[in-house]
Structures are given as structure tokens and as C-alpha cells.
Amino acid sequence: MRQASVHRTTKETDIQVSLCLEGGETNINTGIGFFDHMLTALSVHGGFGLTVCAKGDLEVDCHHTVEDTGIVLGQAFAQALGDKGGIARYGSFYIPMDEALGFCALDISGRPYLVFEGAFPEERIGGYDSCMTEEFMRALAFHAGWTLHLKITGRNSHHMTEALYKALAHALKAAVRPIEGTLSTKGVL
């Protein structure tokens, strides 16, 4: 069973994540309603079991909670995938959501990199700052060891953000699919 649990505590946040790549329950509580909605979408559309309990300094803003959740979730993916052998490695997906179109391409390579293209028209979605989408994706990619490309177009920040999280979920579902051997000319990732 490919799974991991990671707990990280700082002066700003206390975050516990449990992840199972083979599925399971979804239980998300970050104190940021829209972010909970996005992590739930990631879990459901990716077919992952995911539990997130995050406590952060929301009296400041959502930045530390969102970014640190990305760090911990990235660490959980890295642990659950181990040496990354026996997975399809690559995944890409488009998600249309009304006027928005989100695209994700990723390589579970061990070489962290993020390319993020798009701008959000509204600064906030409930208690979630739209700019935190890029920050979350960067923290996730760098701590999981992924090369991650994301592109979004649209006119509604809610639709645009949700399309990106769902595109990531479907790309991940494809990339973590078990295969025989290691998909690398080097023999290791």
C-alpha cells in the first residue's frame, strides 16, 4: 500500500497529512473553506485517500497555512512514492470549468520545477487569496520532487482555481499509475 503520514509544526502552523494513493476517505480541515474545497477536489478527482488537519495563523492571513500544507502534502507524496520506481511517471490533463480552462503536465522526476502561467481577476475567493494557488503548487512540487507545468485561462477566479486543482488531480492519477519497471533510461529516478 502506497501511503504516508507527515506531521510538521512551526511557530506559524501545525499540519498533519495522511495520504493513500490507493484511495480511502477524504477529511480536510484547514480553517479556509475554499482551500478545503480545493483539497477535497484534489483527493476525489485523483482517487486518493487524503486527511488534512491544519492549524495556522489565519489571524495574519492564509499564506502560511496554504503554503505549509503544500510543503507537507509534497513530503507525503514523496514518501508514498518511495524511489518512484514502478509508476507511469508522467501525466497531463485539461479541465474545462465554464469559461475557465486549466491544464497540468507533470513529471514525477525528482527534479523540482514549477512553470505557472495565468493571472486571476479576483484577489480573493472567500478566505483564500487567489495568488496562493501558485504558492501552494510551488511548495507541493518542490517538496514532492516534481516538474510541474500549470496553465490557466478564464474570467472567474473560483472556476480558474478549481480547474487547476482538478487538472492536477487527474494528471497525478495518471502519473502514479503502477507499471512494470522504472520509466527512465538511467534505470532510476
Query: What pLDDT, in 10s, does the model give residues 131-163?
Result: 999 999 999 999 999 999 999 999 999 999 999
Domains of the chain: 3-175 (3.30.230.40)
Residue 60's pLDDT band (boundaries 50, 70, 90)?
very high
Q: Is the pLDDT of residue 181 over 90?
A: no
Using pLDDT thresholds of 50, 70 and 90, give the confidence band for residue 84. very high
- Percent of the chain whose pLDDT exceeds 90: 94
Q: What is the DSSP string of 162-174?
A: HHHHHHHHHHHHH
Angle at 165 between CA 154 and CA 99, to 5 degrees: 20
Residue 124 has pLDDT above 90, yes or no: yes
Pick from 144, 83, 73: nearest CA to 114? 144
pLDDT of residue 135: 98
Question: Closest Cα to residue 33, out of 170, 181, 161?
Answer: 161
Residues 89 and 183: beta-carbon distance below 8 Å: yes
Distance between CA atoms of 175 and 88, rounded to whole angstroms?
5
**Does the pLDDT value for residue 185 go beyond 80?**
no
pLDDT for residue 1: 87
What sign does the dihedral 37-66-48-177 (CA atoms) show? positive
pLDDT attached to residue 183: 73
| Distance set, CA 59 to CA 9, 25, 127, 130 (Å) | 17, 29, 11, 18
Q: What is the pLDDT of residue 120?
A: 98
29 residue type, one letter: N
Residue 186 pLDDT > 80: no
Q: What is the pLDDT of residue 187?
A: 74
